[in-house]
């Protein structure tokens, strides 16, 4: 299936670039032990058209190539690709339609973050790293069945009022968002790291909370001062 001829040369060039980027980002999921077998996916939204590039369904990570990446519109319809799109495509598409600032979405079943999701419990903000990256606790989203946009609705409803780029969908696992696919992958790695650390801390005793005004200061510094600008 190929409907790309209807799009500009600029958009076709961006699609080629996005396919390469999204393929490479799936290697980051395996590098950081965030996925097993074929579970999990990365997508990236285009800037030049209402399209996204996403992993195909059921293809092993070590077999993925840029050409395998699937192009869909923001209703989740297949536009170009030799494979069926990810089973989570409807959720990704819903997020892009309702959160204009988001250009990357990631889903994993990483062990510790998914364990918190299985309990339906948010990860409390007890680490400066969490204040930096998440601006508070990592929230829990509602239980939703895969296959339609129910998961997407839960993601949007939960994250619209939160500074967190991650949500733990109850009994399912983490979804993360970002200004690019790379940002969303970073958030996926970070949410697994803090989920693990806070779990270990709880084995030793009750973690100490961080006051909200200090969380606000951490988040502001990390967002506006940290790194290269």
Q: What's the pLDDT at 116?
A: 98
Superfamily of domain 4-224: Class II aldolase/adducin N-terminal domain (3.40.225.10)
The ranges assigned to domains in the chain are 4-224
- Which pLDDT tens digit goes with each residue over 9-53? 999 999 999 999 999 999 999 999 999 999 999 999 999 999 999
Q: What's the pLDDT at 128?
A: 98
- Mean of all residue pLDDT scores within the chain: 96
Split at pLDDT 50, 70, 90, the class of 226 is confident
Split at pLDDT 50, 70, 90, the class of 2 is low
- 3-state secondary structure labels for all residues of the chain: CECHHHCCHHHHHHHHHHHHHHHHHHHHHHHCCCCCCCCCEEEEECCCCCEEEECECCCCHHHCCHHHCEEEECCCCEEECCCCECCCHHHHHHHHHHCCCCCEEEECCCHHHHHHHHHCCCECCCCHHHHHHHCCCECEECCCCECECHHHHHHHHHHCCCCCCEEEECCCEEEEEECCHHHHHHHHHHHHHHHHHHHHHHHHCCCCCCCHHHHHHHHHHHHHCCCCC
Split at pLDDT 50, 70, 90, the class of 68 is very high
Q: What is the mean pLDDT of residues 174-182?
A: 98
């Amino acid at each position: 299936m190929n409907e790309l001829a209807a799009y500009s040369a600029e958009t076709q060039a961006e699609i080629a670039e996005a396919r390469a980027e999204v393929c490479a980002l799936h290697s980051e999921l395996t590098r950081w032990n965030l996925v097993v077998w074929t579970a999990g996916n990365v997508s990236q939204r285009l800037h030049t058209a209402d399209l996204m590039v996403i992993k195909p369904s059921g293809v092993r990570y070590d077999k993925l190539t840029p050409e395998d990446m699937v192009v869909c519109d923001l209703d989740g319809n297949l536009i170009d690709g030799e494979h069926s799109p990810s089973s989570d495509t409807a959720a990704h598409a819903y997020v892009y339609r309702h959160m204009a600032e988001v250009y990357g979405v990631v889903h994993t079943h990483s062990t510790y973050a998914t364990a918190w999701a299985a309990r339906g419990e948010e990860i409390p903000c007890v680490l400066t790293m969490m204040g930096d990256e998440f601006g508070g606790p990592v929230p829990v989203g509602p239980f939703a069945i895969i296959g339609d946009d129910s998961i997407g609705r839960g993601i949007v409803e939960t994250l619209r009022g939160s500074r967190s780029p991650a949500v733990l969908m109850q009994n399912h696992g983490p979804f993360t968002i970002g200004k690019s696919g790379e940002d969303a992958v970073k958030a996926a790695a970070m949410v697994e790291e803090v989920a693990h650390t806070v779990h270990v801390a709880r084995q030793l005793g009750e973690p100490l909370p961080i006051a909200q005004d200090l969380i606000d200061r951490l988040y502001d510094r990390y967002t506006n001062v940290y790194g290269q600008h």
